[in-house]
Structure 1
Amino acid sequence: MDIVFKNIPSMVTTMMSVTFTLLGIVILLAWPAYAVAGIILYGFGNGLRAIVRGVLPLAIFPASLYTTLMGRLARPSLIAQAVTPILSGLALGLLGSHATFALLAALAGLNVVLSLLLYRYVPRPRVPASQP
């Protein structure tokens, strides 16, 4: 990512990730003929998520807490990954594919909202004063 974007704040990367993910799901849901575009955007969002997972905690918390924090953050993620196949199967069976995609879009939208709320807690990088 540094090759394309230099010095992008971690919160901007977070917003790009959650937005691409939401857009990808919405495109798949609303315009199946553009599934390739939806899958590409979803993939971008998912790839950025892997980066965000490592850098966002460093933007919010001191580096000395990083390893402990990453361990604590891993537990809910791993639990969610474990129950996802069961919950997805139930949603598909009870709601059907279209409603399940709508549910995923709603969850992705919630993720965007929660990321916007998180934005106020992330310290802003200081911009050095320009020199004459």
Structure 2
Amino acid sequence: MSRRNTDVPSVVSAPLPSPVPSEEYERCPVTDVLRRVGDKWTVLVIVLLGRRPYRFNELHRDIENISQRMLTRTLRGLETDGLVHREVFPTVPPSVEYSLTPLGRSLLVPLSALADWVIDHRGEIAAARHAAQ
């Protein structure tokens, strides 16, 4: 929704040049965040961390088929974006726990809205895909 409560999504009401310059599209902050959130593992990691904090190996065990390298890259990217907090505990060996930051928690609301929309429209989407074959 737009900040003016017009019931028009702000992304739709924002003026865009025609054609949209590829350079502008690439620099767009929305494009940048959607690339991060739209990768293979990010949404799942955010959803799991939205339930509770996880240690690395625990998170790795709970996500089937993700490599340690990919989980590390995903967590580092989310940490860089300010969505995930990494806390190191002074144990031997050191243990690390990951949790969502307040910014990361705020992402759960639009992700939930998108998930609800998908569930509500999955039949229509499946029918359209079937018709396109």
Q: TM-score, normalised by structure 2?
A: 0.27
Q: TM-score, normalised by structure 1?
A: 0.27
Larger Rg: 2
- Answer 1 or 2: which has greater helix percent: 1
- Answer 1 or 2: which has greater strand percent: 2
More RCO (CA 8 Å, sep 6+): 1
